[in-house]
Structure 1
Amino acid sequence: MARFDGKVVIVTGAGSGIGEGAARRFSAEGAMVVLSGRTAGKLEKAARGLDPERTLLHAADVSDPAQVQELIDATLRRFGRLDVLVNNAGIAVMGPVDDISLEDWRKVMATDVDGVFLCSKAALPELKKSRGSIVNVSSVSGLGGDWGMSAYNAAKGAVTNLTRAMALDLGPAGVRVNAVNPSFTASELTEEMLADEKLVAKFRERMPLGAPAMPDDIAGPILFLASEDARFVTGVNLPVDGGLMASNGQPPQA
């Protein structure tokens, strides 16, 4: 299947995890893919095996407006157009409001919220030309609260509702905006959580499908939302959570 032949896709946070998985899937389906992230070495590793003629690596910090604009400009210099933006770059800092520092709060907001705003704003002139698509990577943490994750919850909640607002504003221009909302996913961001066997067991107990997601489990829905298969879908926040949110919170019955 080659749903993205001739299409140009930018994936932020593409150096590992969900971003890397999505970039590889877009490439496999024919796209010209721009992998962006803060660390050039990680991007090089993530892009191994991809067709160099259809791949661009561009290191950038999505919280920096100048670097974001250069990412868009570099994409246009290389490929001449833009069809899909995947806003995946994100960080997490643990802690409740009374423990987290103002510096850490602002760091999370700068990447997780400002990054979505800045990348989308810079990409929109081209996405309007191509009648393209934005897919934001939010989280189930943006649909409900977690213990000890105040900054991350606030940031992903903002992304969730920004997705809806952008879909309303941009629909008349032919630009669709959707989000995926993953739950516990095996990635660089969750390495410490995965090492905690008791915590993983608690997640397994609550998730009907019984295991954390792998990056490719999230990449598939991202590609669907970006594709013509979803041409009448906009403003959606799609839980990709192994059934986690199907529960009303009651524990499994013995």
Structure 2
Amino acid sequence: MHTQSSGIGRILITGGASGLGAAVAAAVHDHGGIPIVLDRDISSVRDVSAYQVDVSDTAAVTETVQRAAEDAGGLDAVVTAAGIDRCGRLEDVSVEDWELVVRVNLLGTVSTVRAALPALKASRGRVLTVASTLAFKGASDATAYCASKFGVLGFTQALAAELKGEVGVTQLIPGGMKTRFFDDRTEQYKPQDDSQLNDPENVANAVIFALSQPSGCEVRELFIAHAEEPSWP
């Protein structure tokens, strides 16, 4: 049986091949932990355990998380960084795209956590879910994204109440970051000035802070953004 020997342990990260997830994986490695990456495309991942899976597929996520936990001899934390958006007015976004956002952002979070729970309970580990500033304030042309992230917030708060004393639960609320998240948007929905976007490495360091708390101490909610973040408060 694997036992945690250094750093912050075995950390499973969805969306871990790019953006915030990749920054978290790098930070976990730098702090002596063992990053375990889940992503739809793992071709860019080097020197760490990686599993290819689409988090919108609940059955595949369940099997992959369980296999990753078994391969690692357990898990000490899960970070649900996988997320997508499909911008547009409700009547202009296809049903398929709208529902995909909810399946990835909300149901993908839920299925990952559910599958990891036995391992996390065994290690008295932690869950860190990733919401958004738009989990608090709705925005036009973002009904799917807001609905999914409001859902993540409610799920996480209920989970924290359900698992208190067994598994730590933290809600991360990042503002906009300089990642490829915006790449597939049409021009009107891309940031026109990235000077107000945070470096994902800063957010990853905040994740490490939350995961590094001593037993019995929980960071329940962690908001981190660029000083000029326009979507908050």
- TM-score (normalised: structure 2): 0.88
* Corresponding letter in the other structure for 1:183: G
Distance apart, 1:20 and its partner CA:
0.2
Distance apart, 1:239 and its partner CA:
1.9
Name the residue aligned to 1:219.
Answer: 204
Name the residue aligned to 1:188.
Answer: 180
The SS at the match of 1:93 is coil
Partner Cα distance (2:34, 2:163) in 1? 24
Please state if 1:144 is matched with 2:137. Answer: yes
The SS at the match of 1:172 is coil
Quickly say closer, same or farther: Cα 1:195–1:77, change in 2 above 3 A: same
Residue by residue over 1:34-77, the C-alpha shift from the partner in whole angstroms, topping out at 9 and shown as x without a partner, is 11100131xxx2x33x4xxxx21111111222221222232233
List aligned pairs for 1:1-254, cutoff 5 A.
5=7, 7-41=9-43, 45=44, 47-48=45-46, 50=47, 55-173=48-166, 175-191=167-183, 199-201=191-193, 211-229=196-214, 231-236=216-221, 238-243=222-227, 244=229
Deviates more, 1:72-81 or 1:99-108: 72-81
Partner Cα distance (1:34, 1:147) in 2? 36
Distance apart, 1:246 and its partner CA:
9.3
Do the aligned partners of 1:167 and 1:234 also contact (CA within 8 Å) in 2?
A: no
Residue by residue over 1:128-159, the C-alpha shift from the partner in whole angstroms, topping out at 9 and shown as x without a partner, is 11111011111101111222111101111111
RMSD: 2.6
Do the aligned partners of 1:140 and 1:241 also contact (CA within 8 Å) in 2?
A: no
Partner Cα distance (1:246, 1:104) in 2? 24
Structure 2 unaligned residues grouped into runs of 5+:
none
The SS at the match of 2:92 is coil
Distance apart, 1:195 and its partner CA:
7.3
Distance apart, 1:228 and its partner CA:
2.1
Partner Cα distance (1:159, 1:247) in 2? 18
The SS at the match of 1:200 is coil
Deviates more, 1:84-93 or 1:68-77: 68-77
Quickly say closer, same or farther: Cα 1:6–1:213, change in 2 above 3 A: closer
Structure 1 unaligned residues grouped into runs of 5+:
205-209, 249-254
Distance apart, 1:24 and its partner CA:
0.6
Partner Cα distance (2:131, 2:178) in 1? 15
Structure number with the higher helix fraction is 1
Between structure 1 and structure 2, the one with the greater Rg is 1
